[in-house]
Amino acid sequence: MIIPVRCFTCGKVVGSAYPEYVRRVGMGEDPQKVLDDLGLERYCCRRMIISHANLIEEISTLG
């Protein structure tokens, strides 16, 4: 689905960090270091980024 704009638990904005996270991890960087660099220190915010499954392409082709 679409990445949530805010963390469900604490309300911090996390949606803007997702494209940068995907790009940097795709280039081979350590996910932990990328999350630290992006300022996502709380485990609830990290969960929002790490556990996101990007299914928007699959859903858009069904309709």
Total structural domains within the chain:
1
Left (φ > 0), alpha (ψ -120 to 50) or beta: where does 6 sit?
beta
Contacts of 39 (CB under 8 A, 6+ apart): 17
Assess if residue 7 is contained within a domain: no
What global pTM score does this model have?
A: 0.81
Each residue's pLDDT tens digit, 2-59: 788 999 999 999 999 999 999 999 999 999 999 999 999 999 999 999 988 877 777 7
Assess if residue 31 is contained within a domain: yes
What is the identity of the amino acid at 6? R
Distance in angstroms (rounded) separating the CA atoms of residues 41 and 33: 11
What is the identity of the amino acid at 61? T
CATH code of the domain covering residue 43:
1.10.10.60
